[in-house]
Structure 1
Amino acid sequence: MSVRNLDRLFKPTSLALIGASKRPDSVGRVVARNLFNGGFDGPIMPVHPKHPAIEGTLAYPSVADLPIAPDLAVICTPPDSVPELVAELGARGTRAAVVITAGFGEGGNEAGAARRQRLLDAARPHTLRIVGPNCVGVLLPRLGIDASFSHIAAAPGDLAFLTQSGAMVTAMLDWAAPRGIGFSQVVSLGDMTDVDFGDLLDYLAVDPGTRAILLYVEGVTNARKFMSACRAASRAKPVIVIKGGRHAEGAKAASSHTGALAGSDAVYEAAFRRAGALRVQTLEELFDAAETLATASPARRGAADRLAILTNGGGPGVLATDALIDQGGRLAELAPETIATLDAALPATWSRGNPVDIIGDAPGSRYSAALEALLADPGVDAVLVMNCPTAVADPGEAAGAVIETVQAARAREIRRPVFTNWLGDPAAQASRRLFAANRLPTYDTPERAIRAVMHLVRYRRGQEELLETVPSIPEGHQPDTQGAREILRRAQDEQRTWLTEPEAKRILECYGIPTVRTRTAATVDEAVQVAGELGYPVALKILSPDITHKSDIGGVALDLESEADLRTHGEAILRRAREAKPDARIDGFSVQEMCRRPGAIELILGLVEDHQFGPAVLFGQGGTAVEVVKDKAIGLPPLNLRLARSLMAETRIYRLLSGYRDTPPADLEAIALALVRLSELAAELAEVAEVDINPLLADSKGVIALDARVKVKPKEAVDPTVSPAARLAIRPYPKALEQEGTLLDGTTVKIRPVKPEDEPAVQELYRHLTPEDMRLRFFAPKAEIGHESAARMTQIDYDREMALVGLFPDEPGQIFGLARIAADPDGRTAEYAVAVRSAIKGRGLGFLLMRRILDYAQRRGIKEVHGDVLTENRRMLQICGELGFERRLDPQDSQVVKVVKTFE
């Protein structure tokens, strides 16, 4: 739904407990005990028709008898009573409820599902927000609210924990309590009938009391909302996820290699990565990651995984190195200057390399000198400092020296992350507490420390991907969407599930993916004729809508050099096909020219539709053994060249594609472009259920698809009134908004949505604003906008934001104006901003862009667009007046006018 009224959930001033009980071991009894002993400062009003008091507090027989409308109601009554109670509470003014009761359709129960709908119908007229049903409850430790039936309370802190599983609440609190870990909010979401992950991520993204958001996810309800909310939240603070059910790879039999490889967990992995969230596997790792991201100094922009290890023991240093390599990290190569500095400061027996072993008797001064040298090395991205207890050195002294050195480095603006690993137990506990008190991440084993290092590396890479400048896609290709649809409709009309191989390849050609020439033949004689026209050698394949894996039944013959060859193999293929699949319809053969690309690497590209996240793109090592090799990666469309390259880099085959020994690198851009084209196909062809391109040959000359399969949805499964792009979890570039306009002097201007690759042009736009125009735009002197600001303006979530740019047709690479709106998570209000190059002001571009962006806002259902304008910015105030904005003076600042445009 939205964040509406979630403040009543998280900041209630009054509570009602409906279903409070005195019956031992009942949920109502446990929730009452927890609520009344939590320390909440406001009124708690128990409701029970028979008991005059609960936990020593006056009880009320019904909701109607409550003296005030509670902000938050907690309901643990039988399920049939809940919808009526919610309606009654909503009518009285309650705007949030936690429904602990189960029985609302879990497991597919029809009566429960009907009850669930009645619950939603009761809440909707009052915009009353519901957490649950079938949940453990909500804990808000800073307010002293424990509205749950947990056996243990949550300590106050600044971590938010959101979980679908009620059992995970109690497991988490049990795990956290002895470790002194506290929470800002703990929310058991249960069945997520109303409030879901997307709503809570939007709310907590701007909660100043929450520094990190921890999720236990089994499934999401609205994939697009989840992706938008998670991306927005992860830009503000760490979002760390555990996904339950990692190995539930789907019960249905897969009909293609892509379907077999793209299990649901792989799609979730892709979604989390794309949204900037860090995925972990265990509770311990969840908290380690939260502490790491909260306490470690942020890695430098562009910093990779080059780690320096500083230790007083060789063995632990070796263990840390092994763990680092196992997890994909690298040891930093120390600069000669660093080696020289360490030579001067350390005993002659030091390791003279990385790991830097400063010998077991190292005092604090030796740690300090070595750490200072490593932090000054530009080739070092992070440092792990280790200590093994010895009888000749004080670990506490060493810890103090490390802390002082880090603090001194920070004072000099040297902020490389420093991790600590003090081994042992009694000897190291005091040092670990000292590190924690000084906000230095500390771990008890080398493996945990290295895992934390890699958490930071992965998290930082994810954040940079959200802001990285995207390369442009080569101009010139326009997909033949209509041609592709005609092929698909013909198959639907014939009630075919699979296209023929030639049809599948024609679909790929419509989207600019190169394929080998392929023709069909009904008989062996026709195949001979076609082969003569194509030229020998040729490949011959059985053509049947009922045989998708042709190689499995001996339905493929390669390198046929002559007519005699073709006739012999053609008859044999027919015989094997009829023996293996006697009921299959045999339409003849596909004949294709033999593609000779010695040294080319076989890849697989695929497309499959996930029931939660919609279309997903697959990339990996191809060939007949793809399901055995399982070297693959999954990404969510829309893809651009950067995202495609990042997807490729997740696989082992990528290292071969990058070149090895005397083999030149494959054309990586051609492979990435094929992935982008496949992503476009996913966004435009809702009729396509699956695509399998295997193999796609790749070498230094480019790519070419040798075989392809396309699965078609039945006609009744595709709603022609719904945009194909609506299936995607991430809204693609809205091409329909491309348009033209005319300036006051008659000049034609092209208007289109901003693209991620526009970042350099947007920076150039602001460089062409005068200092005065920059001051009026940003309310303060500003020379230019940097990479991060420009990336945020161009890498937008089209589902929540929109930016239209103005270009002149004869200068397509230059942006002359930009107008943007950013909507709140509810989609009800939006803030606008506009900028036009100073040299062309007065020609009407700013007015035109504003009018078009307002038209868009109204079509999207936004009710209000607003902005702040300096009173001296007369031209902007004039434009706003002409566009129907109302002026409202800011009572806090007489130099600022708030302008507001409302829509009916």
Structure 2
Amino acid sequence: MSLLVVVGVDGSEPSLRAVGRTADEAALHGVPLRIVHAYRWDRYEGASLAREIGKPSGHVTSDDILVVATRRARRHHPDIPVTTEAVAEEPDYVLLREARHASVVIVGHRGRGELADLLLGSVSLAVATAADCPVIVTPAHAARRAAWLARPVGTVPDVDDIDTSRAHALADDFLGRQPDGGWLDPRACAELLSCYGIPQQPWAWAETEDDAVRAAERLRGTDGRVVLKAHWPGLVHKSLQSAVHLDLRGEAQVRTAFRDLRSRFEGLMTGVIVQPLAPRGTELFAGVVQDGVFGPLVVFGPGGTATEVLADHAVRLAPLTGQDVHDLITAPRRVPLRFGTQGGGPLDLEGLERVLHRLSRMAVDLPQLAEADFNPVLATPGGVTVLDARIRLLPCRPQDPCLRRLR
């Protein structure tokens, strides 16, 4: 007698997803598929299945479950031989009996909550440990991945108002002067961002106390407040180094702040960045890292000093499609960021999408772009602005083209 591939279904979505895997297995080995529904109650309380067959929840019968399971098997392999049976017995007993004449038994996983990918339900556990044939338990993450892969890829939108030739010239000039590469200074960073139309907070560079005072007078907002940020090559987190003075008003406070930074970072500081004090908003992180196999990756997550503490980032391959950007912004743990903080209203999501698309375009255009950190990116209901940017360029070395791109 030829062996069968057996799948147990109970009407739940995990068990019905297992039918597709079972149909693939049966077709691969050229054996019949047997679908078994073992039950202890006459009717099944399943909202998802009820919607699929157009019945109220609680009115789903054993026959309904087998009809839906057979339909799903036929979607995968229309010509595969299928037999079905409903048995009014304990499911684990039925499946163990079926295993005596099966080449493999496949069951859906029934773990719950945060441990859904780690736990087996009582039936699948009993069958997996006592069956006379191999047992496959289909994990929930396999179905989620299949659904993710089946989604439309999306399209890469056109980005207007960019100056690619100026960006290439800037990168070539920097690497001509520094053949080993390095971090761009604030002025070069700002120029590169402007090539791609990425919105930046107004700023000025000052190397002397008097320059800082004049810049503060020119940039101060309606409330007269400005910010001074020390700069030197390699500085990562200015706040953690106490290299920032906020909420400065008037010439005296600006001078005092400049002198403090100069005295504490003597021998390091090459100048200060002067900016108007930014409004309240949500601080985000957007950046690029260059991977040796996949090429440029766009990274997105919470910003400010929390970006490394939370380690809560999403990553997508450049160039970003519209779907990629949507996934980055709506990644589960970042959903609250979309609605602002402290009752400030929804953020400018369209502005955030534009920044990510333009950052992606920069990463694709410039193979010399080894690393880019926009932190923080300030998002408010009225717009999205990069408050601080760091960019590192390295000479572009030839790579094996066979290693590039998953899509």
Q: TM-score, normalised by structure 1?
A: 0.34
1:491 alignment partner in structure 2:
174
Query: 5+ residue gaps in structure 2?
Result: 7-14, 25-36, 77-87, 113-118, 122-136
Cα shift at 1:665: 2.2
Quote the residue 1:571 is aligned against.
Answer: 259
Match of residue 294 from structure 1:
21
In the TM superposition, 1:93-108 aligns within 5 A as none
Aligned residues of 1:423 and 1:445 also touching (Cα < 8 A):
no
Q: Is 1:709 equivalent to 2:400 in the alignment?
A: no
Tell me which amino acid in the other structure corresponds to 1:510.
Answer: C
Which structure has the greater CA radius of gyration?
A: 1
User: 1:605: how far off?
Assistant: 0.5
Q: Give the secondary-structure state (helix, strand or coil) at the position aligned to 2:151.
A: helix
Cα displacement (A) at 1:460: 1.0
Aligned-partner residue type, residue 337 of structure 2: L
SS at match of 1:478: coil
AA at the equivalent of 1:512? G
> Who is 1:462 aligned against?
149
1:516 to 197, 201, 217: 201
Deviation of the 1:614 alpha carbon:
1.9
- SS at the partner of 1:540? strand
Is 1:672 matched with 2:353?
yes
User: 1:453 Cα shift?
Assistant: 3.8
2:93 partner letter = A
CA distance in 1, matches of 2:392, 2:315: 19
Give the counterpart letter for 2:157 in structure 1: I
Q: 1:567 to 1:377 in 2, by over 3 A?
A: farther
Which of residues 318, 322, 328 in structure 2 aligns to 1:647? 328
The DSSP-based 3-state class of the residue aligned with 1:683 is helix
Amino acid across the alignment from 1:634: V
**1:405 to 2:64 alignment:** yes
d(CA) in 1 for partners of 2:167, 2:330: 30
Q: Output aligned runs, 1:347-746, within 5 Å.
A: 362=41, 365-367=42-44, 373=50, 375-377=52-54, 402=62, 404-409=63-68, 427=93, 429-430=95-96, 433=99, 441-443=107-109, 447-448=119-120, 452-466=139-153, 469-470=154-155, 473=157, 477-495=160-178, 497-535=182-220, 536-578=224-266, 582=267, 584=268, 586-596=269-279, 598=280, 600-658=281-339, 662-713=343-394, 717-718=395-396, 729-730=404-405
Alpha-carbon distance between aligned partners in 2 of 1:545 and 1:524, rounded to the nearest angstrom: 20
Deviations 1:278-300 (A, max 9, x none): xxxxxxxxxx9x96752389xxx
Deviation track 1:401-445 (CA, whole Å, cap 9, x = no partner) reads: 74x43333467889999xxxx999963543774998998744486
Match of 2:11 in 1: none
User: Which letter does structure 2 place at the counterpart of 1:601?
Assistant: T
Which digits, 9 at most, give the CA deviation of each residue in 1:519-557, with x for residues without a partner?
111111111111112223221111212433322322111
Question: 1:424–1:444: 8 Å Cα contact kept in structure 2?
Answer: no
- What's 2:81 paired with? none
The count of corresponding residues between Structure 1 and Structure 2 is 345
Q: State the shift of 1:729 in Å.
A: 3.0
- For 1:504 and 1:487, how far apart are their aligned partners in 2? 10
1:271: which partner in 2?
none
Residues 726 and 474 of structure 1, relative CA distance in 2, 3 Å threshold: same
CA distance in 1, matches of 2:211, 2:139: 64
When normalised by structure 2's length, the TM-score is: 0.70
- Structure 1 residues 646 and 587, CA, compared in 2 at 3 Å: closer, same or farther? same
After TM superposition, list the pairs within 5 Å mapping 1:115-154 onto structure 2: none
Give the fraction of aligned pairs with identical amino acids, expressed as a percent. Answer: 29
What do residues 183-239 of structure 1 show as CA deviations (whole Å, max 9, x unaligned)?
xxxxxxxxxxxxxxxxxxxxxxxxxxxxxxxxxxxxxxxxxxxxxxxxxxxxxxxxx
Distance in structure 2 (CA, Å) of the matches to 1:630 and 1:370: 37
Unaligned runs of 5+ in 1: 1-156, 158-178, 181-287, 298-309, 313-360, 386-400, 732-796, 798-904
For residue 528 of structure 1, give the secondary structure of its aligned residue in structure 2: helix
CA offset at residue 577 of structure 1?
1.6
Q: Does the CA-based 8 Å contact 2:19-2:72 persist in structure 1? A: no
Deviation at 1:559, TM superposition (A): 2.0
Separation (CA, whole Å) in 2 of partners of 1:634 and 1:701 = 26
* Structure 1 vs Structure 2 CA RMSD: 4.4
Paired residues of 1:435 and 1:442 also in contact (CA < 8 A): no
- In the alignment, is the contact (CA less than 8 A) between 1:292 and 1:452 conserved in 2? no
Equivalent positions of 1:888-899 (< 5 A) are none
Asked if structure 2 preserves the Cα contact closer than 8 Å seen for 1:432 and 1:442, the reply is no
Corresponding residue SS for 1:514: coil
1:221-264 Cα offsets, whole Å, 9 max, x none, are: xxxxxxxxxxxxxxxxxxxxxxxxxxxxxxxxxxxxxxxxxxxx
Give the Cα separation in 2 of the matches to 1:443 and 1:435: 22
Question: Alignment partner of 1:554: what SS?
Answer: coil
CA shift in 2, pair 1:412/1:460, >3 Å: closer
Per-residue CA distance 1:567-599 (angstroms, 9 max, x = gap): 111111112223xxx5x3x32111122221x3x
